[in-house]
Each structure stands twice: as C-alpha cells, then as structure tokens.
C-alpha cells in the first residue's frame, strides 16, 4: 500500500483506545451518555448524540453549582478586602527578610480566613471540568463504543459490507486487496496498526489461534471482524460513502444507504458532525467563534463583579484587559484541535456560566454595561 495515503487521512485516523488515565474517565461519562442518549433516541434519533452532550453538560454544571457559588463568593470577598491587603503590603513593603515576609503572609492568611476569601478557588470550577473535557474527546470520536444503540447500527452496517462481494476482500492482510471499503479503511489505519496487522497474519500462518495471535500482535484492525470494521467506517467521510455506493449492488444499496443515513442523523448536531475535528474550515470554525464570544462575555461579567475600577492602577487595568482577551482566545484556539462534540460541551458550559453570572450580577445590582476595569 502507498504509505502516503495515510498522510492524507490526517487527524481522521482510526482512534487508538484511550490510555489508563483517560480510559476510566471516558468509560464513566460514556455510561452516563448512553443513558441520556437512550432517552433522546426513544423520542427521535435526529441530533440525539449532540443533545445527550448538552444535557450531560447541564447536569454536570448543576452538580458543580454549590462549589461554583462558593468560589464566586470567595472571589467577591477578595475584592472587598483588597484595601486591607494593600495596607499590609504597604506596612511590610517589598522586604526580602524571611521573618518580615513570614509576618506579612501570616497577616494576609488571617485576613482571608476571617472573610472566607481565597484567590485560588476561582480556578477550581475550570479544573474540575477538565476530566469531562478530555473524556468527551474520546467518547464523541468513537461514540459507538459507549452507546449500545449506535454500536448495533455500526455492527449491522459492517456485517453487511463484509457480506457484499468485492467490498472488503477475503483476508485480513495484505491490505492491498481490491475492494473500495478496504481501500478507504486502510487509508484511515495508522502505520503502527498496519504493521501489527502484518504480524497478526504471520502469527496465524505459524498456527497461533485467532485470540492468541491478536493478543500478541497488539492493536490491530481486522477488516473481516465487524467490530473492527466499525472502527474504520466510523471515520468515513460523506465523499467516501458516496464512492462506496457506486460499488454496492442494487439489491443491497437501499439498506446500506439507510443505515448510513441513520448514523448521520444521530451523529449530526444542527449543522455539525459531532465526531469531526473542529479545525478552521467552515462550518466547524463557527464552533470556535461561538466559544470565543461566550468566553469573552462570561469573562466580562465575572470581572465586573470581582474587580473594583476605583482602586485600580494603570498597570492593573492593563493586566485585566490582557486577561480578558488572552484566556478566551487561548481556549478557543485550543479547542479547535478537539472534536465538535467537545466544542458543544464547552459552548453549553459557557452559556450556563453566562446565565449564572447574569443572575449574580443582577443580584448584586451591577449594571450589564459597567466597565470591569
């Protein structure tokens, strides 16, 4: 096989199983998403995967709400005691004497403890979301591994493609056999998996049992195994499927098209495929733009409540403006490398946060257009 075909697959490679750290996280949240998916799927399959992600995010953020409110109260208390913290700073200056620094830190700690203020608590809600963020990146790229109804459809489609003469071939390797499904699937298999497949075939030829050869060869894709073929066709693009249709006999074509259409209905949310990498192409780039806008708005609202412009120096104002811009831009660029499903999670989380900030600011009588610096 021409190895350069692999390069064209890019980030669309067949996914390797998640590691020991992310794997249990993905299994846990995958179990929950399977339950939520069944609810939406029973109502109607369209957009059911995306809606499951939205509902999971709302549940997750709601469970985090007590911690988030505690964190925000702590940050507001930090704002209230800032004048007293400044007095401590003036009292001890910038001395490097260990004893003086120890006294200054003790006074600061006592003051913050008295007013239930801690500058580090503001980071907790973001950090707690990270496991779900990374777990979802595996779940949405291989959702059929975690969602039973989706897995059954992929399995049925894979079995059908294997049965249809000329699409997949008759052997595990060599991969250069004819068959449009085999050709496309091979483009999506990493070089390491291809080498493992060759080793797998060698072990079979030496008389190893299927199970022992597979265990010894490592992670492989056996295109004659419906579960393995599912991993490959999960990464097929619409253009690939259109090409496959031209090779499917007329008596099988309606069934193949129907199964692929059902998968498309499930895995599409609004105008996006939940498993596609966001990237910078249209329409997926809209996800990045929405993330940026919602994060900027939430940061604006948060800084309104946590900052006191009357006590700020010019340097502090500059720092606040930089924070306002840099963090949302960095997060938007960061998420562009993740699947659309992760973007849906992040947007839902940000919208939830914006609503929460609006309620808190209204409760504290902070005008919407008040400048935070």
C-alpha span between 52 and 44 (Å, rounded):
12
Summary mean pLDDT of the chain: 85
Assess contact for 248 and 256: CB atoms under 8 A.
Answer: yes
Mean pLDDT of 343-371: 87
> What does the pLDDT read at residue 252?
96
Same domain membership, residue 237 and residue 286: no
Residue 280 has pLDDT above 80, yes or no: yes
Q: What is the pLDDT of residue 238?
A: 92
User: What is the distance between the alpha carbons of residues 221 and 244, in angstroms, rounded to a whole number?
Assistant: 19
Q: Which residue has the higher pLDDT, 171 or 41?
A: 41
Determine if the peptide bond prior to 6 is cis (ω within 30°).
no
* CA gap 32, 53 in Å, rounded: 10
Q: Which of 216, 246, 273 is the last residue of a domain?
A: 273
> Contact 207/190 with Cβ under 8 angstroms?
no
Average pLDDT over residues 140-157: 94
Half-sphere exposure of 115 (CA within 13 A, CB side): 20
Determine the average pLDDT of the residues in 311-319. 73
Same domain, residue pair 191 and 314? no
Domain finish residue from 223, 241, 273 = 273
Domain that holds residue 149: 4-58+137-273
On whether both 306 and 369 belong to a single domain, the answer is: yes
> 3-class DSSP state for residue 134?
helix
Report pLDDT for 118: 75
Domain count, the chain: 2
Pick 159 or 84 by higher pLDDT.
Answer: 159
Tell me, what's the pLDDT at 172? 53
Q: Are residues 147 and 225 in the same domain?
A: yes
CA angle 32, 37, 42 (to 5 degrees): 140
Which of 273, 307, 326 is the C-terminal boundary of a domain?
273
Q: What is the 3-state secondary structure (H, E, C) of 265-306?
A: HHHEECCEECCCECCCCCCCHHHHHHHHHHHHHHHHHHHHHH
Q: Is 327 found in the same domain as 229?
A: no
262 and 297 in one domain?
no
pLDDT(162) > 70: yes
User: 218 and 151 share a domain?
Assistant: yes
Q: Based on the fold, state whether residues 222 and 264 are members of the same structural domain.
A: yes
Instruction: Place 4 in a pLDDT band, splitting at 50, 70 and 90.
Output: very low
Please, which pLDDT band fits residue 11 given cuts at 50, 70 and 90? low
Based on the fold, state whether residues 266 and 286 are members of the same structural domain. no
Residue 80: which residues within 8 A CB-CB, separation 6 or more? 115, 117
Closest alpha carbon to 35 in 12, 58, 62, 53 = 53
Please state, for a pLDDT cut of 90, what percent of the chain lies above it. Answer: 44
Q: What is the dihedral of CA 63, 64, 65, 71, to 10 degrees?
A: 160
Residue 112 in domain:
no
Contact present, 328 and 296 (Cβ < 8 Å): yes
pLDDT of residue 320: 77
Q: What is the pLDDT of residue 173?
A: 52
Contact 162, 229 (CB under 8 A): yes
Mean pLDDT over 353-360 rounds to 90
Residues 196 and 339 both lie in one domain: no
- In 10 A of CB 55, how many CB atoms? 17
Q: Is residue 75 part of a domain?
A: no
Distance of CA 171 to the CA centre of its chain: 36
- Do 261 and 304 belong together in one domain? no
The values of phi and psi at residue 127, to 5°, are -65, -40
The pTM (predicted TM-score) of the whole model is 0.83
CB-based burial of residue 185 (10 Å sphere; 0-12 exposed, 13-18 middle, 19+ buried)? buried
SS3 call for 339: strand
- Virtual torsion, Cα 143, 145, 148, 151, nearest 10 deg: 80
| Phi, psi dihedrals of residue 272, rounded to the nearest 5° | -120, 145
Shared domain for 188 and 250, answered yes or no, is: yes
Residue with tokens 């700690």: 109
Across the strands, what pairs with 339? 277
Residue 145 is predicted with a pLDDT of 92
């Amino acid at each position: 096989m021409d190895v350069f075909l692999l390069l064209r697959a890019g980030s669309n490679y067949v996914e390797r199983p998640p590691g020991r750290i992310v794997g249990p996280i993905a299994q846990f949240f995958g179990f929950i998403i399977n339950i939520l998916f069944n609810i939406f799927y029973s109502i109607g399959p369209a957009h059911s995967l995306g809606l499951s992600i939205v509902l999971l995010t709302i549940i997750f953020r709601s469970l985090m709400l007590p911690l988030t409110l505690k964190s925000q109260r702590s940050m507001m208390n930090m704002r209230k005691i800032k004048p007293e913290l400044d007095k401590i700073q003036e009292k001890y200056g910038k001395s490097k004497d260990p004893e003086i620094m120890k006294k200054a830190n003790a006074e600061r700690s006592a003051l913050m403890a008295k007013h239930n203020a801690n500058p580090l608590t503001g980071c907790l809600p973001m950090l707690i979301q990270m496991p779900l963020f990374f777990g979802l990146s595996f779940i949405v790229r291989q959702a059929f591994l975690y969602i039973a109804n989706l897995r059954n459809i992929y399995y049925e489609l894979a079995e059908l493609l294997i049965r249809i003469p000329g699409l997949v071939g008759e052997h595990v390797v060599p991969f250069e056999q004819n068959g449009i499904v085999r050709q496309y699937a091979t483009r999506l298999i990493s070089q390491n998996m291809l080498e493992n497949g060759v080793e797998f075939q060698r072990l079979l030829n030496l008389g190893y049992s299927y199970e022992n050869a597979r265990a010894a060869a490592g992670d492989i894709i056996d295109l004659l195994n419906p579960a393995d073929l599912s991993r490959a066709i999960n990464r097929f693009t619409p253009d690939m499927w259109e090409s496959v249709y031209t090779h499917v006999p007329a008596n099988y074509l309606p069934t193949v098209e129907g199964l692929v259409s059902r998968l498309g209905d499930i895995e599409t949310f609004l105008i996006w495929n939940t498993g596609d990498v966001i990237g910078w192409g249209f329409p997926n780039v809209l996800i990045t733009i929405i993330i940026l806008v919602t994060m900027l708005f939430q940061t604006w609202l948060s800084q309104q409540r946590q900052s006191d412009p009357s006590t700020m120096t010019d340097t502090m104002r500059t720092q606040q403006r930089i924070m306002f811009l840099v963090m949302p831009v960095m997060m938007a660029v960061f998420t562009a490398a993740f699947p659309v499903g992760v973007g849906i999670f992040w947007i839902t989380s940000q919208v939830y946060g914006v609503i929460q900030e609006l309620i808190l600011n209204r409760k504290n009588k902070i005008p919407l257009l008040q400048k935070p610096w």
